[in-house]
Amino acid sequence: MTSFRWFLVTAAVTLTPIAGDADMSDLPSDLAQRSLILDMDSGELGLYRIEPRNPGPFHAFTRLDVAMLENSVSDPHQWVLDRVSAETGTIAEAALLLFDPDNPYAGARINDIDPSPESVHATLELVAERPQHFCEGPTESYNDSGLTVEVDCAFWLGGTSSHLLVRLQQAGSTWYVVVARAQNPRRYRQLFAIADSLHF
C-alpha cells in the first residue's frame, strides 16, 4: 500500500503543471506558490499551496490549497459540507488572536463592535455545531473540466471576518478539492479569483 501511495504522490507531482494549473504570472506579488505536503493517510495528494510570501500573524490563516483525491466521491454535496466542518478548527485558532494581549487591536473597538469573549465563544459554538449556518451552498455548476460543487462561508467574529471556500471539482474520473481561506474580504476575493482561474 505504501509503495502504491508513493506512486500516486509521484504521479501527482508530475501532473502538477496540468492538474489544477493556473497562470501564476498574475499572482499578487505578496503571494507565493509552494508545495503542499499532506499526510499519507489523508486520502488526498497535495498539488500546491498559495500563501503569503512573508510570514505574519495571520499567515497560517491565509491560503489556497489544491489537492487530488485518491478516491471517487459518491455524494459531492455531503462531502463539501463535511469538509467545511473539518476546517472550522482554524476559525477558532484565528478567533483566539483577538484576545492575545500582544494583539495590536487589543482593547480597541473594531467596526464599532467591542468583541467580548462571551460573544465570540457563542459564535464558535455555533460554528462547531452548524457551520453551514454561515455558508451558501452547496451549489452545483459546470465548467470546462466538469462538475463543481462548492460551499462559500463567512464567519463573523467580534467585528472581524473569516472566509472559507471549499470547492470539489470533477475532471473525468478524477476529483480535486480547492480550499481557500482568508481573514478579510479583500484577500478572500483574490484567492477566489485564483480558484476560478484553475484548469483541471
Strands 147-157 and 160-171: antiparallel
Question: In terms of pLDDT, which residue wins out, 93 or 153?
Answer: 153
**139-188 confidence digits (pLDDT tens):** 999 999 999 999 999 887 666 778 999 999 999 999 999 999 998 899 99
Are 179 and 197 within 8 A, CB to CB? no
Which domains occur in the chain, in start order? 2-196 (3.40.1000)
Q: What dihedral angle (degrees, nearest 10) is formed by the CA atoms of 74, 76, 80, 83?
A: 10
Which band of pLDDT confidence, cut at 50, 70 and 90, is reported for residue 76?
very high
Strands 147-157 and 135-142: antiparallel
Distance, in Å, from the CA atom of 23 to the CA atom of 49, rounded to the nearest integer, reads: 14
Count the neighbouring beta carbons within 10 Å of the beta carbon of residue 194: 22
- Measuring CA to CA, which residue among 183, 170, 197, 180 is closest to residue 74? 170
Helices 89-96 and 76-87 cross at an angle (nearest 10°) of: 30
**35-50 confidence digits (pLDDT tens):** 898 877 778 888 999 9
